[in-house]
A = this chain, B = another copy of it.
Amino acid sequence: MSTALDRLRSLAREKAVVATSAATIGWDQETYLPDDGHEWRADQIAWLSERAHELGTSSAWGDALAAAEADGTAPALTAAMRRDYDRATKLPGELVAREAQASSLGKQAWADARKRSDFATFAPHLETLLAIAREKADRWGYEAEAYDALLDTYERGATAAGIASLFDALKPQLREVAAAAVARSDSRNATLPGGIYPIEAQQKFNAVVAESLGFDFKAGRIDTTAHPFCTTLGPRDIRLTTRYDESDFTSSLFGVMHEAGHGLYEQGLPAKEVGLPSGEAASLGIHESQSRLWENHVGRSRPFWEKWLPVAAQHFPQLAGTSLDDFLAAIHRAAFSYIRVEADEATYDLHILLRFGLERRLVSGELSVKDVPAAWNESFRDLFGMTPPDDAHGCLQDIHWSMGGLGYFPTYTLGNLNAAQLFAAANADATISSAIAKAEYAPLLTWLRDKVHAKGAVLTPAEIISQATGKAPSPEAHLEHLRLRYLA
C-alpha cells in the first residue's frame, strides 16, 4: 500500500477518534447528564468538534491527499476524499464559527417560539441561518441553484430539479394512497388491547427483537431519551435510544427497530476503513433506507408478527386474545395528522413534499421568511385537506431549520423509496424471501451488508442503489408497497 495512503488513513483514523469522542460526550448529554452539567458539556463538545474540523482541513491532510492522488493507488477513494476536503476547506473558520453560534441561538429561539407558537420571534433567526446557508452554497459552488449545494451535503449527487420532478410525479399517487388508507383505517377503527405495557417488559422484548435482527449487543446498547436516535461512539460501539409509552408497546418497539436499522448499517461498515469515505455511511437517504426497511418492511409485516405476536403475548398478557389480523389492522392504522414525527407510513411522505417545496423556495429567495406560516398552511391544505390550528402544529414543529439544516428533509422520502427498492430486490432472491416468510432475517442482513454496508461512501447513493437493485432509483417499489399494505 502507498505510504501517502497510509498517512491519510492514519489522519482519518485520528479524526474519527476525535469525532467519536465528541459523539460519546454528546450521547451522555442526551442520556445521563445531570441538569447543571450542560454548560460545561457544551464547551467540551465545541472543543472536540473544532479539533476534528481542524484535523480534516489541515495542510497535513491536504498534503497526504495530494500525494495519494499523485501515486494513483486508490483513485475512487481519493476522489471522494478530495471532494470532502475541498468542501471543508472552502468554508473559512470564521463562517463555521458564525454558523455554530447562529445554530445554537436558533435552536434556543425555536424551542421557545414553538412553545408559544410564535413564529415572529423565530423569524430573524431563520433569516440569519438562511443567509449563512446561501453563503455556504456560494462558497461551495453549484450549477443550477444554491439549494443543490446544500442538498449535496446530505445526499451526494442529488439536485433540487431531480428531487422536484420525482416528488411532482409522486404527489398525486401518494395523495391517492394516503386518502384511501385513511378512509379504510377509519372504517375499521382497530386499536391495540388496552392496559399497561410495563417499560421493563418492553425493554426485554425490544432487546430480544433487536438481537434477532442481527444487532450485536457486544458492540452496542439501547438507552432511553426524549427523542430516539442512533449514534456511533466507535466502530464497535453503536448506541440506540428509544422512549416508552406504557399504553402502546409498539411505539418503543418500532423506534428500536428503526434505530437498529441505522445501527446495523453502522455495525456493518468496514471497521478497518474507519474515518475514510470507504468506512462511512453513503448518505442520509441511504441511512434512512436501512432504518425504514427494518422498521416498516420488516417490523410492520405479516410474517414478522406471525412469529412475534405469540412472543409479545408472553411479555404482555393482554395480547393473548388478539388475532393476527386485528393486530395488523391496529399497527397499519393511517390518519392525516399535523405532526410529521407522529405520521404513519401512508401519509408520511406528504409531510416531506411540503417541506421540500418550501425550503427550496426559501433558499432561492422566491419565498420570504415572513411568508412561511401562510405558505405552510396553504400547502398543508393542498396536500392534507386541513389547516394546522397554529404554527406549533405547522411551520414551527421541526428542529431542522433552526439548526441551519436546509436540504435535509428530502432525504427522509429518499430513504423510504430506497428502502422499498432494496427490500424488493432482496426478495427477488428465493433464499432471502423464503427466510423472510419465516421471519428469519440473516440472509437479508447478509445481502444488505454486501450490497450496501460494505460499500461505504465511495460510490454515490444513486450508484449504490443501482448496483444493488439493477435499476436506477425509482419510486415504483415504494408505491407498490404502500398500495399492497394499505389498499389491498
* CB pair A21 B34 closer than 8 Å: no
Given A24-B28, A34-B218, does the pair A234, B44 have CB atoms closer than 8 Å?
A: yes
* CB pair B36 A237 closer than 8 Å: yes
* CB pair A44 B20 closer than 8 Å: yes
* CB pair A39 B221 closer than 8 Å: no
Asked if A33 CB lies within 8 Å of chain B CBs, one says yes
Asked if A142 CB lies within 8 Å of chain B CBs, one says no
* CB pair B236 A47 closer than 8 Å: no
* CB pair A21 B21 closer than 8 Å: yes
* CB pair B34 A236 closer than 8 Å: yes
* CB pair A21 B25 closer than 8 Å: yes
Asked if A143 CB lies within 8 Å of chain B CBs, one says no
A46 (CB) vs chain B CBs: closest residue: B17
Given A21-B25, A24-B24, A28-B28, does the pair A218, B36 have CB atoms closer than 8 Å?
A: yes
List residues of chain B with CB within 8 A of the CB of A234: 37, 40-41, 44
Q: What CA separation (Å) do A235 and B38 show in the bound complex?
A: 11
Q: Among B25, B40, B233, point to the contact of A37 (Cβ < 8 A).
A: B233
Q: What CA separation (Å) do A14 and B40 show in the bound complex?
A: 11
Q: What mask results when residues 213 to 248 of chain A are scored 1 for a CB within 8 Å of chain B, else 0?
A: 000111111010000000001111100000000000
Q: What mask results when residues 371 to 412 of chain A are scored 1 for a CB within 8 Å of chain B, else 0?
A: 000000000000000000000000000000000000000000
* CB pair B24 A43 closer than 8 Å: no
What is the interface of chain A, defined by CB distance below 8 A to chain B? 14, 17-18, 20-21, 24-25, 28, 32-37, 39-41, 43-44, 47-48, 51, 216-221, 223, 233-237
* CB pair A44 B24 closer than 8 Å: yes
A223 (CB) vs chain B CBs: closest residue: B32
A44 (CB) vs chain B CBs: closest residue: B21
Given A24-B44, A28-B24, A44-B24, does the pair A236, B18 have CB atoms closer than 8 Å?
A: no
Smallest CB–CB gap between A470 and chain B, Å?
35
Q: What CA separation (Å) do A43 and B274 show in the bound complex?
A: 13
Smallest CB–CB gap between A23 and chain B, Å?
10
Q: Among B25, B39, B217, point to the contact of A24 (Cβ < 8 A).
A: B25
* CB pair A237 B17 closer than 8 Å: no
Given A14-B47, A32-B221, does the pair A237, B21 have CB atoms closer than 8 Å?
A: no
Smallest CB–CB gap between A31 and chain B, Å?
8
Q: Among B18, B32, B219, B233, point to the contact of A47 (Cβ < 8 A).
A: B18
Given A24-B28, A25-B24, A25-B25, does the pair A17, B43 have CB atoms closer than 8 Å?
A: yes
Q: Among B17, B37, B43, B217, point to the contact of A34 (Cβ < 8 A).
A: B217
Nearest 5 pairs of A and B residues by beta carbon? A40-B234, A37-B237, A36-B236, A36-B219, A35-B218
Q: Which interface residue of A40, A217, A218 has the most chain B CB atoms within 10 A?
A: A40
